[in-house]
Structure 1
Amino acid sequence: MLKVLLVEDEVYMRKGIIKLVDWNGRGFVIYREASNGQEALEILKKEHIDVVITDIKMPVMDGIELIRRISEEFENRPAVVIISGYNEFEFAKAAIRYGVNDYLLKPIDEAELIQTLERIKTRILNEREYHRRKNLFEYLKRNSKFMRVVEFNEVSTIEQLGMDGTATWMGIGKKEDLQYEDDLTICENLLEIEREVNAKFASKGIDFRCYWDSFFNIILIIEAEQKSRRGQVIKQVYEYITRRLNLQSIVFDEIKNFKNIHSFYKQLLKKLSFAQFYEKTGVIEAAQIEDFEMYIEDKKLGSELIKLIEERKCEEIRYKLSQFFDECHNKKISPEIIKGYILLTLLEVIDYFEVYQLFEADSLKFIYRSNLQKSKFIEKVMEILLQIAEYVTEATKFNSSSFMKKIELFIKENYNKDITIKSIAQQFYINPIYLGRMFKKHFNMPFNKYLHILRIEQAKKLLLKTDKKIYEIAKEVGYNDTDYFALKFEEYVGKSPSKYRSSIIGETNY
């Protein structure tokens, strides 16, 4: 709704104008009323008004003086509509000099008032959209310039940032839901935060700017004029922003040398990663996070987890992981080092149990998520280890020669049907990946090769003992495609079915 200030000294005239049209239906609201220009001026100084509708002749301060003061004293001037009688038209022309281009003649006509309001609304909304896009474009340029410095160390741009004071702080927080928004929405939200924070802390000498990097971290720059209570004020600002943006944590520090802002930013990112991984919340001064270690001495985790999986001790697996992470926390091990070590450990376990098929190429990508907390990270690792343990348990249950004899018998009874390793696994309630491995180990060949050999041997018998046609034999042993049957037959026997039959018959006759 566009807010309207109605300025008219005659009460009945004001009430008549208010009742003349459906203001809300037209997108307007009569927000305030005033009986003269002086009252209106005081309201304008305190309230945001979109449209002023004012009479010309009023006591204390007339409409012409009000319009003049508005044009001279207000940067973001409201739209102004003057109400004029026929004998006041010269006053109306004077008002036009102050930027007024809408006026209504008394008595006010309903249709004319509606046309004027629609014209004003269109103009205001168009101007707002223009300024919105202009502000977003300027913000995008500013953000891009800043990120070229902090992310890519573009030294030539540092002087253009306008950070020439020493009382400047940089804070970094993670807002992951930014990645689901488009760039313009992000810019609008961050610009709103900037205006809000600057308005709230203006009296404390704070100048705040907000940026975002390519990893959807929020970069928060604060410049402070006050010297005495500066640290306390800075923390108050960051605490407010943390709540306002719903951030888990913010790590901040004072920038001492702007030429080193790139390395300063990288260091803050590492400390933010450390804080988030170890689930530290709130506003954290960088000095509270000491330098962390970049080396893990323990090299036994993989072998210990393998042993626990073999012994089916799932709860001890969880305890072992928690113990390992607690030790890393106490020793202040970098999250990046931990994640790399855990990745190698998981690969060691996967390799030992030969369960590569259980995991797709990107199934371990969660390890590289920089903002994953320790507790959630442990749960993700546990999921993988439990999946391996379940697989190993199932494998042990079926790992016997008697079971494989059942599988062999089933295949011989159903070789001429459309069977696969997956359908057999479903029949015997076993993991198909494990069955494939176990089958290869027991028969020294993969299932598909075993099935082809079995079918071809049966086909050889039929070729020798019957006079059935080739396509009939192919279908009888499980091949719906005669050409494919002939191809596989020649691959395993060395000659086509017809030549094989001829050669066998010829030898017999001889």
Structure 2
Amino acid sequence: MHSVLLVDDEISIVNGLKSLIHWEQYNFTITGSASNGTKALHLVKNSLLKGIQSAYDLIIMDIRMPGLTGMELIKELFEIGYKGKIIILSGYGEFDYAREAIKWGIRSYLLKPIDTEELLDVLIEIDSEIREEQQQHQLITNSRTILRNKTLHKLMVSGINQIDELNSILTSSSLENLLTGNRFCVCIVSYDDYALVSSEEGSSTADDAKASIVNILVQEIESVNQGYVIELENALIGILLVQRHNTGISMREIIQATSKTVQSKIQYSCSMALGSQQQDISQIHRSFLNALKVMNYKLAVGKGKILFYDDFNWLENTNFLLYQWDFQILLQAIKENDSVQIELSIDRFIMNASSKSWPLEIVHSQIVLFFLELASIVNNAGGDVCDLFDIDLILRKTYMNKSLYELKLFIQKNCQEIGKWYEENLSINKSDKMISKIVAYIETNYNQSINLKTISYDFKINPVYLGRLFKQHIGKSFTNYINEQRIQQAVHLLKNTDYSVTDICRMVGFNNINYFYQKFKKEYGVTPLEMKRTSQD
């Protein structure tokens, strides 16, 4: 709806205009009125001060008013930046005034008494003009946004090293204010449940959820002039933090506060990785690469956490060629649950570190790298890392243990536990049994609030892996299977009980009546109520 402000010192004219036509039928709504030009100017000024450019899309005003006349009001409106349309009302003896007003770009003028058909013709034309202007404005805005995002993507992902090229690209993309920044840092946001939602609810649902995360980030970062937000590939979102002076708030603190806000507003898990801070705009790409590096450890520390490059930069500063533990044999022994080989491999590592007098911090760093690699392998195999072992606790205890013997026992204990998990869960027969248990669980608990995430938590397995495994064994997705079970039970209750459709919806586990109706009709071609009535006839 286009908003309208009526301005006339005669209240009968204002009231007459309000009731003359059904304004909403022509996409207009009267949102304000003023009895003179001074009051009208005050209303428009207030809206512009609040940043509302289109508070009044159309002003209909009398040409002659006490105090500030129509002509004086028109001049004042243009001077303060009013961009809307204006229609003036005039008598036959005021045509010279009307003609002068049109020179100022006034859209139209109407003679008193106002002819309804003439007013409608003008409104229809103005409605068309406003819509076309809005479309053009949106096209321009979209083009600028696309160009801006392409430039930001190039800065982050590819890098721009040539200063002349950098200045030219930033200026053409309306990003020249980046040139005034003195500290830059890239943060990568990972929508952790993207793959799970895509597999269970479709890619469009996952993309919509990602878009809502982007909107929150824009509000938190861009609206307060702390940087820029762009969508990256798949589950990733990029944030370019820019500081132009010492604000008293570190980039780490900004991301911590942003993470809290995001997690409080969405039901999905988001991890964040903050790269290295750079003082040169041409080094933004390096910050991006460093953020990617630490994001690789997301699986180890758990979903929904923040990873800071500064906490991991010892990985770059250590010469691992001098101190290297080849733990591939140990990883294979864990997969085979070979307890003897697990113990031998750990013994070799400890003996090697002791005989070559490795610094304790190097031993610690090698053990950390091993557990990070183990966490990644377990996750890829379908295990839920957070449920199988507390990687945060493991990392802390690694640094707490000061003797090689203590470290040996500590590594051995955790490796033996993961080896048992491999043996119990990853053979073909074991996966068959697990899916059978899950199916049995669904058949007895279909009316509870269960989904792929809750089931995977109970069975200590990665939800995305479980979704693939379930579909491979059953031939349909987890969501479709549980919906079928619920709908089958609903049919039984509809045909054999007097419960209402709403009660049955709740009893079989659906939380949303509209979703229940949609799935039911898709399956049977009729609504639940229609089936109930048919069964009662």
Distance 1:96 1:56, change over 3 A: same
Q: How many residues align?
A: 345
Between structure 1 and structure 2, the one with the greater Rg is 1
Partner of 1:486: none
Which amino acid letter does the alignment assign opposite residue 265 of structure 1? F
Q: Is the 8 A contact 1:52 1:81 kept in 2?
A: yes
Q: Which has the higher contact order (CA 8 A, sep 6+)?
A: 2
Partner of 1:126: 132
1:168-317 paired onto structure 2 within 5 Å: 168-175=184-191, 176=194, 180=203, 196=219, 201=224, 206=225, 208-225=227-244, 227-231=246-250, 234-235=254-255, 238-239=258-259, 242=262, 246=266, 248-252=270-274, 254-275=277-298, 278-279=301-302, 281=304, 286-288=309-311, 291=314, 297=327, 299-307=329-337
Q: Distance in 1 between the 2:96 and 2:208 partners?
A: 48
Q: Does 1:73 align with 2:80?
A: yes
Q: Is the 8 A contact 2:4 2:59 kept in 1?
A: yes
Distance 1:390 1:16, change over 3 A: closer
Q: Deviations over 1:12-51 (max 9, x none)?
A: 2111101111112222211111122222222222322221
Q: Is the 8 A contact 1:9 1:58 kept in 2?
A: yes
Which amino acid letter does the alignment assign opposite residue 238 of structure 1? T
Picking from 117, 137, 140, the partner of 2:143 is 137
Could you tell me how far 1:154 is from its partner in structure 2? 4.0
Partner of 2:67: 60
Q: Is the 8 A contact 1:81 1:102 kept in 2?
A: yes
Q: Deviations over 1:258-292 (max 9, x none)?
A: 22221210111232343465235366654355656
TM-score, normalised on structure 2?
Answer: 0.53
Q: Distance in 2 between the 1:286 and 1:24 partners?
A: 56
Which amino acid letter does the alignment assign opposite residue 188 of structure 2? I
Could you tell me how far 1:166 is from its partner in structure 2? 0.4
Distance 1:338 1:270, change over 3 A: farther
Q: Distance in 2 between the 1:385 and 1:123 partners?
A: 66
Distance 1:209 1:39, change over 3 A: farther
Q: Is the 8 A contact 1:224 1:230 kept in 2?
A: no
The farther-off stretch of 52-61 and 154-163 is 154-163
Q: Distance in 1 between the 2:148 and 2:88 partners?
A: 41
Which amino acid letter does the alignment assign opposite residue 69 of structure 2? D
Could you tell me how far 1:148 is from its partner in structure 2? 2.2
Q: Is the 8 A contact 2:273 2:307 kept in 1?
A: yes
Gaps of 5+ in 2: 48-54, 171-175, 339-363, 390-417, 435-472, 474-537
Q: Deviations over 1:372-415 (max 9, x none)?
A: 9855999x98997154435699xxxxxxxxxxxxxxxxxxxxxx
2:297 aligns to what SS in structure 1? helix
1:89-488 paired onto structure 2 within 5 Å: 89-156=95-162, 157-159=165-167, 160-161=169-170, 162=176, 163-164=178-179, 165-175=181-191, 176=194, 180=203, 196=219, 201=224, 206=225, 208-225=227-244, 227-231=246-250, 234-235=254-255, 238-239=258-259, 242=262, 246=266, 248-252=270-274, 254-275=277-298, 278-279=301-302, 281=304, 286-288=309-311, 291=314, 297=327, 299-307=329-337, 332-333=368-369, 337-338=373-374, 341-342=377-378, 374=386, 385=426, 387-389=428-430
Distance 1:69 1:286, change over 3 A: farther
Partner of 2:413: none
Which amino acid letter does the alignment assign opposite residue 158 of structure 1? L
Which amino acid letter does the alignment assign opposite residue 299 of structure 1? I
Partner of 1:419: none
Could you tell me how far 1:190 is from its partner in structure 2? 9.5
Distance 1:298 1:224, change over 3 A: same
Task: Quote the sequence identity (%).
Answer: 22
Q: Is the 8 A contact 1:242 1:283 kept in 2?
A: no
TM-score, normalised on structure 1?
Answer: 0.56
Q: Is the 8 A contact 1:211 1:219 kept in 2?
A: yes
Distance 1:343 1:228, change over 3 A: closer
CA RMSD of aligned residues (A): 4.5
Q: Is the 8 A contact 1:208 1:220 kept in 2?
A: yes
Could you tell me how far 1:221 is from its partner in structure 2? 2.8
Q: Distance in 2 between the 1:200 and 1:141 partners?
A: 19
Could you tell me how far 1:223 is from its partner in structure 2? 3.4
2:93 aligns to what SS in structure 1? helix
2:142 aligns to what SS in structure 1? helix
Distance 1:49 1:391, change over 3 A: closer
Which amino acid letter does the alignment assign opposite residue 273 of structure 2? V
Q: Distance in 1 between the 2:289 and 2:22 partners?
A: 58
Partner of 1:467: none
2:158 aligns to what SS in structure 1? coil
